[in-house]
Structure 1
Amino acid sequence: MLDWSKATKYSGILQLYRNLIELRRNKQKNTRGLMGQNIRVFHTNDQTKVIAYHRWMEGGPGDDVIVVANFSTQSFDSYTIGFPNSGTWELRFNSDWKGYCEDFTNKGYSTTAHEGECDGLPCQGNVGLGPYSLIILSQ
């Protein structure tokens, strides 16, 4: 059961959940892949404790979604992963955003993927990751 009496005290965390729900429901029409059945984990690194996966319904801009999760205390200013397409990938969600909590580091950012195989995908790009955080990117 939710304790709604703490909604004001933890309003940033409440907003985090609202933002995730909006993305999952594709409210902005740029994360349709989160509604699809297709998923491929393409990056796992036991040393850094980072995983990345691709979600899609049919594929392409507005449909392809990349999710990257950092399960360690280490943050990364620039971490290279594969992408299914070249071009700009917009940061749609960053669980490390200071708007959710002043203690967070705000490491996530949009990126540009360029040709060059990485993680079994045709393109690659760099992402920023805060400690124990998750980012979602789409085109």
Structure 2
Amino acid sequence: HGIVRLYRDLIRLRLNRNGFTRGLCGQFTQVYHLHDERKVIAFHRWEKGGSADDVVVVANFFHDAQDGYVIGFPAEGTWKLRFNSDWEGYNDDFKNHPSTDVIADPGAYDGLPWHGAVSIGPYSVLIFSQ
């Protein structure tokens, strides 16, 4: 029943049931990273902006993991990993790629004021928020 848990976890995040993904309820979306060759996309979702509102979603559509992959972030500090679709608890066939929280450091990247390195498994989605 792992896939049911995956959907339940996504729905909880989308509806902000835990209080740290309000941006997924908002109407604002900015696709700010698109790498055609490595097949990675990142986008920012928000309602009003700020802590517990800004959400960053990263998707890897490539058959290989992307480790140390740098993207922009809309704010400094620690971005907590709230969802990893590659978690083996969702399916025994999933690889459980070691994705973690990200520290956004000063320095513009992708048109955003901060940047950080993510590690994402093949064909996976990560969701981060503060």
Of the three residues 71, 74, 83, the one matched with 1:81 is 71
Q: State the shift of 1:114 in Å.
A: 0.6
Q: 1:131 aligns with which of 115, 118, 122?
A: 122
Task: Report the CA distance between 1:109 and its aligned residue.
Answer: 1.4
1:69 maps to which residue? Answer: 59
Q: Report the counterpart of residue 111 of structure 1 in structure 2.
A: 102
Give the counterpart of 2:86 among 79, 96, 118: 96
**Would you say how many aligned residue pairs link Structure 1 and Structure 2?**
129
Give the CA deviation at 1:102: 2.3
SS of equivalent residue, structure 2 residue 86: coil
**Consecutive unaligned residues in structure 2, runs of 5 or more:** none
In 2, the alpha carbon distance for the partners of 1:106 and 1:89 equals 19
Q: In the alignment, what sits opposite 1:58?
A: 48
Are 2:25 and 1:25 aligned? no
Once the two structures are TM-superposed, the CA of residue 57 in structure 1 deviates from its matched residue by 0.2
- Which moved further from structure 2: 74-83 or 98-107? 98-107
Q: Based on CA coordinates, which of the two structures has the bigger radius of gyration?
A: 1
Distance 1:104 1:38 in 2: 31
Distance across 2 between alignment mates of 1:12 and 1:31: 22
Separation in 2 of the partners of 1:116 and 1:27? Answer: 32
- 5+ residue gaps, structure 1, are 1-10
TM-score, scaled to structure 2? 0.97
Aligned-residue CA RMSD (Å): 0.7
* Percent of aligned positions that are identical: 56
Number of the residue aligned with 1:120: 111
What is the Cα deviation at residue 106 of structure 1?
2.1
What TM-score do the two structures reach when normalised by structure 1? 0.91
1:19 is paired with a residue whose SS is: helix
Runs of 4+ deviating beyond 4 Å? none
Tell me the residue number matched to 1:5.
none
